[in-house]
Amino acid sequence: GNDLRTKLLQAFADRPNEYISGQELAEVLRCSRTAIWKHIEELRKDGFVLEAVRKKGYRIVEVPHKIIPDEIRLGLETKQLGRSIHYEETVDSTQRIAQRLAYDGAAEGTIVIAEEQLGGRGRLERSWHSPKYKGIWMSIILRPRIPIMQTPQLTLLMAVAAVKGIEQATGCEPGIKWPNDLLLNGKKISGILTELQADSDRIHSLIIGIGINVNLELEDYPEELRNTASSLFIETGKEWDRATIVQSILLELEKLYSLYLENGFYPIKLLWESYAVSIGKRVKATTLNGSFTGIAKGITDEGVLLLEDDNGKVHHIYSADILIES
Ligand code: BTX
């Protein structure tokens, strides 16, 4: 199967820009025309743009643009983050791979990045749609020496780093919806998931996963996400270089992370609040213990959301889905 694919790509590479008929390809590769057709369809699914012209044959017009680890390395200005890159074409979830690498002792700052996830995860066992070559699906291994209680702060820190990085690379400034969604024009373009490896008193590693919808088109989303999700491409009408965005996010993350380790959460909290779109608004928070409606007042020093209900009672929301009502 894969062997035939390689030969097919070689046949096109040997005669750049020429049309090659299905008949001829079948002869050269010693297979059926149906097999050729099947592989052409596979290539299309993987992001190749192929032109088919009657009586002439097939021609490759565009090859998929991949995130090449060397492209990330070239021009990466960080000291530690992203210095070790684990790259794969297709994975179940980059979180799973990062968990394993972290367990095996991977250095702080190691990143796992994939072109496609078949089992990308969100919070609470939800799934994260991660089609091939279109987004940034990345997990970062950190080993902060902080109390376990404070880990939600790092999710918020990551959100700030992502906003700043995206802004640096593209000029778009997403807003943050507590705790971890990045929105552009009210639609979700990114999500963050933080997972821990810890025992009762010590964090061994923190795995921060981030998904960013970069070049997805509307048709790349399943029907049920089309009203709520968007991408940098959809919002700007431009295709963006994913490696450049990864570089700026890692740089921003490294700066904020050292600021945090030296000065604590307060400066991060101020930045987070300046990007937050939910604060001061009327929101509905759906938690595992029911839902609460009221005004989002702000976040505590731990990163907990403060929600004031209509009776003036302030609720501490540790984890929830937030709907902004106005
Ligand atoms: P979340 O639980 O806040 O969001 C998940 C929800 O978002 C889903 O239930 C669905 O409604 C919606 N959704 C799914 N896919 C997308 C998408 N591509 N764009 C917009 N909305 C979507 C957010 O969880 C945390 C997501 C982290 C994803 C990264 S990718 C790298 C790493 N590996 C991995 O498996 N997860 C993380």
pLDDT at 68 over 90: no
CATH number for 184: 3.30.930.10
Among residues 254, 275, 296, the one where a domain terminates is: 275
pLDDT at 72 over 90: yes
pLDDT at 261 over 90: yes
Instruction: Quote the tokens at residue 9.
Output: 């790509």
294 marked as part of a ligand binding site:
no
Q: Which residue has the higher pLDDT, 49 or 93?
A: 93
Ligand 1 centroid – CA 162 distance (Å): 15
pLDDT at 326 over 70: no
Q: How far is CA 262 from CA 163, 164, 270, in A?
A: 22, 20, 16
Same-domain check for residues 32 and 143 = no
Predicted local confidence at residue 111, as pLDDT? 98
Kindly state the average pLDDT of the residues 150-154. 92
Same-domain check for residues 174 and 111 = yes
54 marked as part of a ligand binding site:
no
Kindly state the average pLDDT of the residues 36-43. 93
DSSP-derived 3-state class of residue 54: coil
Cβ neighbour number for residue 211 with a 10 Å cutoff = 25
Residue 34: partners with Cβ closer than 8 Å, 6 or more residues away: none
Question: Are the CB atoms for 123 and 193 separated by under 8 Å?
Answer: yes
User: What does the alpha-carbon distance between residue 83 and residue 76 come to, in Å, rounded to a whole number?
Assistant: 9
Q: Can you give the three-state secondary structure of 24-46, one letter per residue?
A: HHHHHHCCCHHHHHHHHHHHHHC
Predicted local confidence at residue 145, as pLDDT? 92
Same-domain check for residues 238 and 162 = yes
User: What does the alpha-carbon distance between residue 215 and residue 123 come to, in Å, rounded to a whole number?
Assistant: 23
Q: Whose CA is nearest to atom 20 of ligand 1?
A: 229
Ligand 1 centroid – CA 137 distance (Å): 10
Same-domain check for residues 193 and 158 = yes
Residue 258: partners with Cβ closer than 8 Å, 6 or more residues away: none
pLDDT at 1 over 70: no
Ligand 1 centroid – CA 199 distance (Å): 27
Instruction: Indicate the range of 20-24, 96-100, 224-228, 297-301 predicted with least confidence.
Output: 297-301
Give pLDDT tens digits for 186-214: 999 999 999 999 988 889 999 999 999 99
Among residues 62, 82, 113, the one where a domain terminates is: 62
Q: How far is CA 198 from CA 105, 139, 203, in A?
A: 13, 17, 4
Among residues 16, 46, 62, the one where a domain terminates is: 62
User: What does the alpha-carbon distance between residue 60 and residue 135 come to, in Å, rounded to a whole number?
Assistant: 23
Same-domain check for residues 125 and 209 = yes
Ligand 1 centroid – CA 182 distance (Å): 11
188 marked as part of a ligand binding site:
yes
Kindly state the average pLDDT of the residues 29-49. 90
User: What does the alpha-carbon distance between residue 174 and residue 141 come to, in Å, rounded to a whole number?
Assistant: 24
121 marked as part of a ligand binding site:
yes
Same-domain check for residues 77 and 174 = yes
Question: Are the CB atoms for 265 and 301 separated by under 8 Å?
Answer: yes
Same-domain check for residues 6 and 100 = no
User: What does the alpha-carbon distance between residue 297 and residue 102 come to, in Å, rounded to a whole number?
Assistant: 37
Ligand 1 centroid – CA 227 distance (Å): 15
Same-domain check for residues 82 and 153 = yes
State the pTM of this model.
0.88
Ligand 1 centroid – CA 190 distance (Å): 7
Same-domain check for residues 151 and 213 = yes
Looking at the CA of residue 229, tell me the nearest atom of ligand 1.
20
Predicted local confidence at residue 3, as pLDDT? 84
Predicted local confidence at residue 67, as pLDDT? 87
Residues in the chain: 326
Cβ neighbour number for residue 226 with a 10 Å cutoff = 13
CATH number for 292: 2.30.30.100
Instruction: Quote the tokens at residue 56.
Output: 């002439």
CATH number for 27: 1.10.10.10
User: What does the alpha-carbon distance between residue 113 and residue 72 come to, in Å, rounded to a whole number?
Assistant: 11
Domain limits for position 294: 282-324
Q: Whose CA is nearest to atom 11 of ligand 1?
A: 225
Same-domain check for residues 36 and 134 = no
Beta pairing class for 85-91 and 57-62: unpaired
Percentages helix, strand, coil for the chain, rounded to the nearest 5?
Answer: 35, 30, 35
Instruction: Quote the tokens at residue 84.
Output: 């070790």
Ligand 1 cavity residues, CB under 6 Å:
93-95, 117, 120-123, 126, 128-130, 137-139, 180, 188, 191-193, 209-211, 213, 225, 229
Handedness of CA 111, 112, 113, 118 (dihedral sign): negative
- The C-alpha angle with vertex 200 and arms to 197 and 205, in degrees rounded to 5, equals 20
Count the domains in the chain.
3
Q: Give the up-direction half-sphere exposure of residue 183: CA atoms within 13 A in the CB hemisphere.
A: 17
Looking at the CA of residue 124, tell me the nearest atom of ligand 1.
2
* ipTM of the shown complex: 0.99
Q: Whose CA is nearest to atom 36 of ligand 1?
A: 121
The chain-wide mean pLDDT, for the chain, equals: 93
153 marked as part of a ligand binding site:
no
Mutate to test the pocket of ligand 1, among 128, 195, 212 (most ligand atoms within 8 A of CB): 128
Q: How far is CA 65 from CA 3, 74, 103, 134, 259, in A?
A: 22, 17, 32, 9, 35
Ligand 1 centroid – CA 309 distance (Å): 28
Same-domain check for residues 158 and 192 = yes
User: What does the alpha-carbon distance between residue 160 and residue 273 come to, in Å, rounded to a whole number?
Assistant: 9
Q: Whose CA is nearest to atom 37 of ligand 1?
A: 209
Predicted local confidence at residue 230, as pLDDT? 98
Predicted local confidence at residue 179, as pLDDT? 83
Ligand 1 centroid – CA 183 distance (Å): 13
pLDDT at 102 over 90: yes
Same-domain check for residues 125 and 266 = yes
Q: Whose CA is nearest to atom 24 of ligand 1?
A: 122
pLDDT at 2 over 80: no
